[in-house]
Structure 1
Amino acid sequence: MKRKYFLLTLFVFGFTAGIIAQPVSEDLPQITGCIALINAKVISAPGKPMQVETIIMRDGLITDIGPRAKIPSDAYRIQADSLYAYPAFIDAFSSIGVKNPESDAPRGGPQGGPGNRDRNNTRPSVDEEGNPSLEDAGITPFRSVRPSVDIKEKSIADWRGQGFAIAHIVPKGKMIPGKGSLIVLSGKETGQLFWKEDVSMFAQWSGAGDNYPSTVIGIMAKWRELYHNASQDLVQQTSYTNATLVPRPHYNQAHEALLPVVKRDMPVYFRAPKVKDISRALALQKDLGMKMVISDAEEAWYLKDQFKTGTIPLVLSLALPEDKSENKKDKAEAKAEAKEKNDEAKAEKKDTVNTDPEKEEFEKKRAQSLKEHYAQASVLAKDGIPFSFGTLSGKSSDFTKNIRLMMDNGLTNDQVLSALTSQPAKLLGIEKNCGTIDIGKMANVIVSTKPIFEKDAAIRYMIVEGNLYAYDEKEKKKVQGKESHSASTPSSLAGTWSYTIDIPDQKKEGTMEFIEKDGSLTGTIHSSDITSGNNELESIVLDVDAVAFTFDFEIEGQLMVIEFNVKLKGESFDGSVTIADVGSFSITGQRMSKPKN
């Protein structure tokens, strides 16, 4: 029992003591061990029928699969009779785990020389021809993404929790931020993340601010200059190697880094969200002849005919525009009013409403634009245009919602699964290693409670290169109470509250802050003991005087969910805090302050 209390202290407040060394339990094998997923409903690849099979995984690889697969004696067994198994997702274009660049820090020149600012650090220094340094111009093709990756970045765990095992990540920056790499979303050290380095070049229509190039025209001109100069350098290097009496080539860091692009050995992932961005990128590709992948596309359906040949691969953005129209809000309000007002009152109100034709037309156009964005993937799929999905502009918290929006607008289960597994595997040249559940491939498997894209599906386990991550099945629980009347409103909870959790032999204290906006509540928890990097409260439900919410965090790959259930008593509350497999403990609190109006 004392051990459970100690675990609660560790888990609730994010301590990373060595006692918690395994993602699921103390006897769970690491990557060198063996896992048996027994009698799962397996969908091994897009378009394949579901079959009840046992999957054997050892040393990070799938070693056997089938209804009669022999289970090794040393296997960690998971009874999966009621669970579904899918190939884990592959992110074709992202910045998972990548830190923001330290733009304000003095930087060295491209050759590692002195900083590139003047003495007063007020403007970039320039060369004899008036050109800023490559770094100030946002041209850093020589940079690899590895130095920018932080194993502690929350995005790694967040996207893994959404089903992703592999990601193609790129550095952050301006015109040419640098080279992308493939990572595996598992490991305790940064080096363990990396699988294949410097596999791509990342470019975008992002100007250098006050420096050149700062406009789209300037960026296109600079690309042509760099590409042609790199091509000339390649010719001169070849001549120097194969002929005599040829002067030694001069070294240029940017040109040297672009040689694989000129040779067409390295693709350029060009970020082009809008239709104009895509059109300009395609024009640049046609002019220079580089291998290009249009990435983070949000409006590719406008130019779908140009993608039908399949010569230019396409990565669609997983970010979708939010419906912020007044109609959506009006519908919600009307639904609430319908419960309280009779038909006569509503009819009277309707007669007095003044309509604005211009506003109505604007709302129609907005609704049409939203539908086109939501239907982008299905429109391309119907025309047989292959595509992958990328998370660069998306949020992990919106992933499931956005996938379902696309499916509501015509995208099928198999098309979604293909864009998240086999298609990005082919694009990235790793189809022999992952993208499907087959013998010899990497042990990257999603285990879900229902078919993965169904509304109430939840991920129960993630297996990433043989490492097992367990997730508590979360359901939003509504506190029992009267539905028609509420003694408390979101504003009654808003403010800062102190709390005390009673654990035998000790107390844990901190504060919680709730913010009310447009009838919705968000919250954060704060304590000197919390070191996990996450303090967001989730699933906040207020009913009568009862409040329920959860707090999520991860330690050594294990997601823990703390459930709070409290009852408001004016300026105080009391209730319980529960964590699965550990116990339930009492919590009390007092209001410290209310929001300032």
Structure 2
Amino acid sequence: KAGEAQFETNRNAGFTTVLTVSRDGVFNGQSAVINLAGETVSQMIIRAPFAEHFSFTTLRNGQYPTSLMGTFSALRQMLLDAQRLQTLRQAYDKNPRGIKRPETDKSLDALLPILNREMPIVFNANTEIEIVRALNLAKEFNLNAIIAGGQEAWKVADRLKAQNVPVLLSLNFPKRTAAASPEADAESLEILRLRAETPKGASRLAQAGVKFAFQSGGMTSINDFLTNANKSVENGLSKDAAIRAMTLSAAEILGVDNRLGSIETGKIANLTVSRGDILAKDKTITHVFVDGKLFEQKEKPKTTTPATGGTQPAATATVGGTYSITINIPGQPLEGTLSLTQQGEILSGSLQTQLGTTPIKDGKVTAEGFNFTTTVELGGSTFNLDVSGRVTGNQISGTMTTPQGAVAFSGTKTP
């Protein structure tokens, strides 16, 4: 439905245009490309319909298909049935004498634009086997296919390139939904490897020459979109390629690059303005234009300590020094040394443990404490580590967010 207020959160995050479709069932229906502004539906629509969407999912309550293989087989059979129906209709239209009039079947009719390559089909597929099945189906029926999700698309990058199949690559990176605890089940190496490898997928697709664009992939917090785009950059993707994956490449895949995706004379005026690098943590989205209409972002209120008796607002905390810390990994505490070098609000230094020494990146100091990111190598894979904490006297404490969830750390400043 129309109405600009419902999209305020997305616009505040820098979005101007989206691809919208239902997520229910195996056949998700047809999608539309819309602007996030407009008083009527017709004002919002850029392209409708865009594609048919298909999900490798199963149905509950005993309904067929109840397995992924069944889901694939059901789609293949429906495509075969639609092909046969089209052949019968063509024969009947050419010479109807002596031929039974073909029946009407709306479900099969909906597949004819896909079979005739008049409309793309988007396969929601994340695992290697799902993507391979989708590519096999696209090859068998000569479909104009697109992969959406694509967590393991990099594993079949050569096939994607050979079949000229683009990817709407999800930035909804896998993560643990609950903090690690002694009672929590240990996660498999396969899950840990998936978390480590997924942020590298964009770089690998780019290196293979596969066209791709970023998508949100149903993430619960839209603010994770730019955060995870930056993680793709940290894992080998160039910044230019990351920006293109959110703009022109997306428009090209959606078939609207003659109207959107770049700043050119005659194109729709959809613009996002940021203060600072749009992929950096400290960036601020200041203005968003949708179809030429300005949506100015509200400044976040600054938190200060009220001045009383001539005292000043709270100053930046003092956190510099070397600390002996213990990272409280359940069942396996890890000792280490955290060296913090502070220059005003900028923080640098290193984290040293038995896993090695890694430099601090994007370090910041606030009135409440500090935060930074670093990386850890384990089992041949590299994991991102987000650290936040505070210093009270000679004591330091905080949280490290690892691929297995959040773990606490604490320690003491060394002389």
- The structure 1 residue matched to 2:11, chosen from 122, 135, 160, is 160
Shift of 1:195: 2.5
1:458 aligns with 2:280: no
Aligned-partner Cα distance in 2 for 1:278–1:240: 37
Partner SS state of residue 164, structure 1: coil
Shift of 1:285: 2.2
Aligned-partner Cα distance in 2 for 1:369–1:290: 29
Aligned-partner Cα distance in 2 for 1:366–1:229: 39
Cα shift readout 1:113-149 (whole Å, capped 9, x = no counterpart): xxxxxxxxxxxxxxxxxxxxxxxxxxxxxxxxxxxx5
- Runs (5+) with no aligned partner, structure 1: 1-148, 330-358, 485-540, 545-597
Aligned-partner Cα distance in 2 for 1:460–1:190: 26
- TM normalised by structure 1 equals 0.48
The residue type paired with residue 384 of structure 1 is G
1:445 aligns with 2:264: no
Q: Where in structure 2 are the equivalents of 1:272-351 lying within 5 Å?
A: 272-309=125-162, 311-322=164-175
Per the alignment, do residues 463 and 278 of structure 1 end up closer, same or farther by CA in structure 2, a change over 3 Å counting? Answer: same
- Runs (5+) with no aligned partner, structure 2: 306-312, 319-365, 370-415
- TM normalised by structure 2 equals 0.67
Cα shift readout 1:100-120 (whole Å, capped 9, x = no counterpart): xxxxxxxxxxxxxxxxxxxxx
- The structure 2 residue matched to 1:193, chosen from 35, 38, 44, is 44
1:169 aligns with 2:20: yes
Shift of 1:325: 9.7
Indicate if the aligned counterparts of 1:459 and 1:473 stay in contact, CA closer than 8 A.
no
2:30 paired residue number:
179
1:388 aligns with 2:241: no
- The structure 2 residue matched to 1:374, chosen from 196, 199, 207, is 199
1:422 aligns with 2:273: no
Per the alignment, do residues 396 and 324 of structure 1 end up closer, same or farther by CA in structure 2, a change over 3 Å counting? Answer: closer
1:215 aligns with 2:67: yes
Per the alignment, do residues 322 and 218 of structure 1 end up closer, same or farther by CA in structure 2, a change over 3 Å counting? Answer: closer
Shift of 1:227: 0.6
Aligned-partner Cα distance in 2 for 1:369–1:173: 25
Shift of 1:192: 2.7
Aligned-partner Cα distance in 2 for 1:319–1:164: 16
Shift of 1:157: 2.3
1:432 aligns with 2:266: no
Q: Which has the higher contact order (CA 8 A, sep 6+)?
A: 1
- The structure 2 residue matched to 1:227, chosen from 74, 79, 83, is 79
Indicate if the aligned counterparts of 1:271 and 1:296 stay in contact, CA closer than 8 A.
yes
Partner SS state of residue 316, structure 1: strand
Aligned-partner Cα distance in 2 for 1:261–1:542: 57
Partner SS state of residue 202, structure 1: strand
- Alpha-carbon RMSD: 3.0
Indicate if the aligned counterparts of 2:3 and 2:37 stay in contact, CA closer than 8 A.
no
In our comparison, the structure showing a higher alpha carbon Rg is: 1
Shift of 1:293: 0.5
Indicate if the aligned counterparts of 1:378 and 1:406 stay in contact, CA closer than 8 A.
yes
Per the alignment, do residues 258 and 159 of structure 1 end up closer, same or farther by CA in structure 2, a change over 3 Å counting? Answer: same
Shift of 1:456: 1.9
The residue type paired with residue 376 of structure 1 is G
Indicate if the aligned counterparts of 1:321 and 1:370 stay in contact, CA closer than 8 A.
yes
1:256 aligns with 2:81: no
Partner SS state of residue 111, structure 2: helix
Count of aligned pairs between the two proteins: 309
Cα shift readout 1:257-283 (whole Å, capped 9, x = no counterpart): 111011111111010022232122222
Per the alignment, do residues 476 and 316 of structure 1 end up closer, same or farther by CA in structure 2, a change over 3 Å counting? Answer: farther
1:266 paired residue number:
119
Shift of 1:393: 2.0
